[in-house]
Structure 1
């Protein structure tokens, strides 16, 4: 009986708080306007400040249904490079016969003692790829990929 009475008392107290501001009134959405929670002058994405990181070893174009994939194999200067990708250097609306990309990635934190681990070339190998659809591919004559040491151009 005690448990039932306690549960009934808690439920009554919780439900009595509902509607404490009065009945809801309809509001015209066009009169209110839209308010954003984003601060003025803010952008949706942070700028990509990753440095170019590697010596480009090879660039391969692989045809797929609906486009092609540009695959880049490179050798980083040190072990531990992460978040590697091909960053478009042409902006959001690329035009022209050549598409330019940079191989970018983050370097690891510096070690407390000594220097960065270098290791063998096989342990520093990185691969990144980007897809180009058939519509963009129809206007392209070449794709250029830049690394920190060199750049390689191919015809897709």
Structure 2
């Protein structure tokens, strides 16, 4: 009986925790998925560029939105709320590039805190706001589905 209870609790805990994937991988947070969106305009006609947005609200009130392409890979994330989500979890393998870009941006302005934009060929991260109201977004420019603009990640 005790062994069964431990197994049930372990399965429940695993189902409730994030999957710990990131940009370029499967969604990190398994939240509510919205219907696929097709948003692209080319030469006056509409072209299908399907993706879904998975939205999760963390215990601290921060809302995380993950933009997932038709193949199930996350190509963009956005966050807003009193605290940032775990950028290490959200950015995954791209986290070291973010850290390097953040250090460069802080050095360029003489240190301190403030809005930061890191723009690389394979990663863009924008983060800002103020205490209690932080916002940001990150995306992989090369992984944006055809017809999808970075402006749609918000």
Alignment TM-score, normalising by the size of structure 1: 0.23
Relative contact order, higher structure (CA 8 A, sep 6+): 1
Q: Specify the structure having the higher radius of gyration (Cα).
A: 1
Alignment TM-score, normalising by the size of structure 2: 0.24
